[in-house]
Amino acid sequence: MNFAVLQFPGSNCDQDAVHVLRNVLGHTARLVWHKDASLGDADAVIVPGGFSYGDYLRTGAIARFSPVMQAVKQFADKGGLVLGICNGFQILCEANLVPGALVRNKSLQFRCENVFLKSPTADSPFTNRIPAGKLVRVPIAHGEGSYFADAETLGQLQANNQILWQYADATGELTDGANPNGSQLNIAGVCNARRNVAGLMPHPERASEKLLGSDDGLLIFRSMIAWFENQAKAKAA
Amino acid sequence: MTEPAITPELVAKHNLTPEEYAHAKEILGGREPSYTELGIFSVMWSEHCSYKNTKPLLKTFPTKSPKILVGAGEENAGIIDIGDDLAIAFKIESHNHPSAVEPFQGAATGVGGIVRDIFTMGARPIAALNSLRFGELSNPEVRRLFSGVVSGIAHYGNCFGIPTIAGEVYFDKSYEGNPLVNAFCLGVLRHDQIARGAAKGIGNPVFYVGPATGRDGLAGAAFASQDLTDESAQQQRGAVQVGDPFMEKLVCEACLELLATGCVAGIQDMGAAGLTCSTCETAARAGTGIEIELNKVPQRVPNMSSYEIMLSESQERMLIIVKKGHEAEVKRIFDKWDLPWAEVGVVTDTGRMVVRHNGKVVADIPAKKIADESPVYQRASQEPAYLKEVRAFRLEGIADTKSPMDDLKKLLAWPSIASKNWVYRQYDHMVRDNSIVCPGSDAAVLRIKADCVPQCESNPAAAKVPDKFIAMSVDCNGVYVYLDPYEGGKAAMAECCRNLACSGAVPLGATDNLNMANPHKPELFWQMQESVRGLADGCRAFNAPVTGGNCSLYNQNPSGPIDPTPTVAVVGLIEKPEHITTQWFKDEGDAIILLGTPVDTADPILGLGGSAYLQVIHGKKTGSPPRCDLDVAKTLHTSLLGLIHTGDIKSAHDCSDGGLAAALAESCISELIAKDTPRLLGATVDLSEIKDVRLDALLFGETQSRVVISTKAINATKVIERAKLLGVPAVQIGTVGGDKLTIKTSAGEFSAPLTELHDGWWNSIARAMA
């Protein structure tokens, strides 16, 4: 599978995503510069974490205007898989590719620590390999990761099973204590209505090797790969 | 624009003595300096740039080993070989005065400056550490400084994308109003990628890259080289620079990309003393001259004078000497990253640094003379009077502990010992996907993989990089140093190397940051001199030569000098990933073994001098600190590594602040699974065999060279025998298990639930800051 990993000025988790996709999972991953207007032959797009444009103005607010984002929009419109991680999630929100917004952490401080994620649904290209009830242990690292949406949007997200990841405690409960940033409904990540574009604040690429403490994050990438391969098989059949 | 006339008052304002001024005139061939030249001499001969008060001391550090590729003082940072054609560049630097005045920007630019020093060497920065000191948290002003410094470091490091993976924080009244902010950075490169800060090649063009020059940070180096007073802090707020980590990230990527093309002849960051220091140092190193036209320097505001442009410390700027004919490469790469760049001058054969402004010469100084011939002073030194009383201190009159578990809880909740999670949870310590042991264990451990090495277009085969594992620690117990500078200096180095040994690493080299008070006061100079002697002896004992560092003097405020704080960071190599060891207990039933002598009975105050226990429980900061026998320490570290290499050691944690009891408690409570999810694993410890010694000395004494390890029960005897064979006292003191820490002694049995020990330890700083 061919992954395109976007590179904005200020991206700093781009190499991490490439490392995991290439060296841990054995797939092809290529950096795509933000000024490029084409994604080439990508099968999926990763919008990585970092501080695109220094987070000036508002997180993700400037990056959405980069030429490559037009290509990402078209790619998504055709049903292509797009995953935004951390700052990538913020960019996808700003670009209206996924619903909602990410605001300052309730603590007003940057937070870097491991959290547990619960997936309410396995019915998505990003969660299909996560076993039911499995708590995925991955780190967060953000200052503006508090998920916010109006009541109507939240209702739709719930009705359509668009909430893909929620912060849980070690027993799987969605408690206030487990919520690291004050997100509504403990939301850590969502997808669009068509389910092909998703964003999450935690960093699965930092939890993809046992050596680094957890490889739970691989479940998310493996979900994308499984979904893509099934699609390809279905097309071939 | 007319420049002010040079008067004795103006000279004095620039912190130059009449003798220094006379020497400056001599260098200029007898003529008076221009105003711009006076500014140049002032910053170049400030302590910060010239080390004029510390050079004789710095020369006593061991700085050589076969592994050192770039040694101390040669370049912006030292470089050490780590095998397989790979090398690491690392250095520590202070930003104390700026942080006292403006904590957020002061600390942020401290990080920015040290990161720049590392990529200037051609290395990719992959790890940051910091060492911080503040007054006591009960003071609201201290809390403001602490909070500002931590968020400044977080802001810069997080945005740049470097993991801030370890550090230390102490709180002591002596740092009130004069916090210490020491920032460390480490980068990785291949041997053939080492870049030099030399203006080589007559006729090569000189480029300025990075954001425009403004009036910020005017003469910051000079500001950092005088006593900090309320008045100076107010006046000098404009000397604090403003950092932009986003810009630094772009400049770093662009510089590494440019270096990979092979068209760079020399490169240097504009740190302290900005354009002045970078131009004359690069020329001095190459033995060439340099000529620049200030008109061509990108400027943020109109009508800046030559004095201002030369002395500005605007951040994230670099000076690059490009091989003639390759100018287009600079344009291609810096345009790609949307970064300002300008060709501002040329390398000459005159040996002079010539600065023009609108065509008119405003400075013309022999480069080598001003860079290398700064004044050097051998300051007077005298043992401070307070030490008599310190040495006479005995334990008579100090009541032994009556309630050890209550005392332990107080110690664990004491901010200097308590968990620093309030700090490191604000730092991104995992970016770059290499963090194996994160903050919260004795030393941080990082993997080095292919993407840590700057890319190289000319040699794609070099992209094959075997994984390497390095450990880092930064330490200094300033109280020990205050109470006995020589022993304290040794102890700082010993603790740092002990932390490394506990993680499974062998030291490669050290970088030091001498945070001291006014060197003109003989008693304060003596503290520095003795602590350097201790540190240097430690470096020799552990085969960890100093590869560079920084001095920060004049750390005092109206209420007195700081405790002398010679912070040291040591980097070590771990041979195999299976040797990586953490401090927390792993499994129920494991045997707990103490390596080292339980209590130094030859010490009349039994390791309690300067201890956290005396400070917290008895309110006394006195007594000679525990003796640090470097031979004993060296044997312990080597033996511990030998044991770790057998694969039998499941955890290793050193005894330092708070003694054996604190080390045991930390081994029980410091593993963290996820947010609010610690893994608590109890222990039952029996020390009743150790008789005839005060209980407080046994539990809380800080006798040096001790480590608590754990191993599978069936391996305990084997491990103990092997340790003894290697020359280290070893005894099984307990078993892992349960939800309490229970300690039996000849004076009785004491126990506390881990949840209680953990609560104070984990939350006390957050509570103080709430």
Domains by residue range for chain B, with CATH: 581-770 (3.90.650.10)
Judged by CB atoms closer than 8 Å, whether chains meet at A12 and B161 is answered as: yes
How do B730-736 and B68-70 pair as beta strands? unpaired
Tell me the average pLDDT of chain A: 96
Q: What is the predicted pLDDT for the residue at B499?
A: 98
Q: What is the predicted pLDDT for the residue at B237?
A: 55
> In this structure, what are the phi and psi dihedrals at residue B129, rounded to the nearest 5 degrees?
-130, 165
Q: What is the predicted pLDDT for the residue at B652?
A: 98
Answer for the pair B542, B637: CB distance below 8 angstroms, yes or no. Answer: yes
Place of tokens 């100093």: B546
- The three-state secondary structure class of B512 is strand
How do B565-574 and A135-142 pair as beta strands? unpaired
The amino acid present at B472, given as its one-letter code, is M
**Could you give the CA distance from residue B365 to residue B357 in angstroms, rounded to a whole number?**
15
H helices present in B321-376, as ranges: 327-336, 367-372
Angle between helix B716-725 and helix B630-646 axes, rounded to 10 deg: 140
- Nearest C-alpha of chain B: how many angstroms from A207? 8
Q: What is the predicted pLDDT for the residue at A153?
A: 97
Instruction: Kindly tell me if the per-residue pLDDT of A59 is higher than 90.
Output: no
Of the candidates B633, B632, B625, B671, the residue with the CA atom closest to the CA atom of residue B651 = B671
Check if the interface score ipTM surpasses 0.90.
yes
Residues of A in contact with B245 (CB under 8 A): 51, 54
Of the candidates B375, B353, B274, the residue with the CA atom closest to the CA atom of residue B21 = B375
Judged by CB atoms closer than 8 Å, whether chains meet at B427 and A51 is answered as: no
H/E element, B560: strand B560-561
Q: Under the phi-then-psi rule, with left for phi > 0, alpha for psi from -120 to 50, and beta for the rest, what region is A161?
A: left
Answer for the pair B95, B105: CB distance below 8 angstroms, yes or no. Answer: no
pLDDT digits (tens, 9 = 90+) for A129-168: 999 999 999 999 999 999 999 999 999 999 999 999 999 9
**Could you give the CA distance from residue B597 to residue B605 in angstroms, rounded to a whole number?**
15
Q: What is the predicted pLDDT for the residue at B232?
A: 56
Cβ of B431 under 8 Å from any chain A Cβ?
yes
Judged by CB atoms closer than 8 Å, whether chains meet at B161 and A116 is answered as: no
Cβ of B676 under 8 Å from any chain A Cβ?
yes
> In this structure, what are the phi and psi dihedrals at residue A2, rounded to the nearest 5 degrees?
-100, 115
How do A101-103 and A146-148 pair as beta strands? antiparallel
**Could you give the CA distance from residue B37 to residue A94 in angstroms, rounded to a whole number?**
51
Based on its alpha-carbon atoms, the radius of gyration of chain A, rounded to whole angstroms, reads: 16
| Residue spans of chain B under pLDDT 50 | none
* B564 token code pair: 């002398």
Q: Chain A residue with minimal CA distance to B246?
A: A54
Q: Which of residues 166-205 of A touch B (CB under 8 A)?
A: 169-170, 177-178, 180, 203, 205
Classify the C-alpha dihedral B488-B494-B498-B500 as positive or negative.
Answer: positive
* DSSP-assigned letter for residue B240: S
- The three-state secondary structure class of B548 is strand
**Could you give the CA distance from residue B681 to residue B521 in angstroms, rounded to a whole number?**
51
Residues of A in contact with B159 (CB under 8 A): 10, 12, 51, 54-55
**Could you give the CA distance from residue B514 to residue B73 in angstroms, rounded to a whole number?**
15
The gap between the terminal CA atoms of chain A, to the nearest Å, is 19
Q: Chain A residue with minimal CA distance to B445?
A: A212
Q: Chain A residue with minimal CA distance to B248?
A: A10
- Burial pattern B344-357, b for ≥16 Cβ within 10 A else e, equals bbbbbebbbbbbbb
How do B651-654 and B164-171 pair as beta strands? unpaired
Answer for the pair A168, A178: CB distance below 8 angstroms, yes or no. Answer: yes
The total number of residues shown for chain A amounts to 237
pTM of the model: 0.96
Judged by CB atoms closer than 8 Å, whether chains meet at B436 and A205 is answered as: no
- Nearest C-alpha of chain A: how many angstroms from B383? 45
Helices first, then strands: H and E counts in chain B: 27, 30
Place of tokens 């046992």: A210
Q: Number of folded domains in chain A?
A: 1
Cβ of B427 under 8 Å from any chain A Cβ?
yes
Helices first, then strands: H and E counts in chain A: 5, 11
* B377 token code pair: 């002073």
**Could you give the CA distance from residue B224 to residue B218 in angstroms, rounded to a whole number?**
11
Here the CATH number for the domain that contains residue A75 is: 3.40.50.880
Place of tokens 């100018």: B327
- The three-state secondary structure class of B320 is strand
Cβ of B432 under 8 Å from any chain A Cβ?
yes
Judged by CB atoms closer than 8 Å, whether chains meet at B677 and A10 is answered as: no
> In this structure, what are the phi and psi dihedrals at residue A141, rounded to the nearest 5 degrees?
-160, 85
**Could you give the CA distance from residue B363 to residue B31 in angstroms, rounded to a whole number?**
12
Beta bridge partners of B188: B88, B124
Residues of B in contact with A209 (CB under 8 A): 433
Q: Up-side HSE of residue B383: CA atoms within 13 Å toward CB?
A: 9
Domain that residue A207 falls in:
2-236
Judged by CB atoms closer than 8 Å, whether chains meet at A212 and B673 is answered as: no
Answer for the pair A149, B467: CB distance below 8 angstroms, yes or no. Answer: no
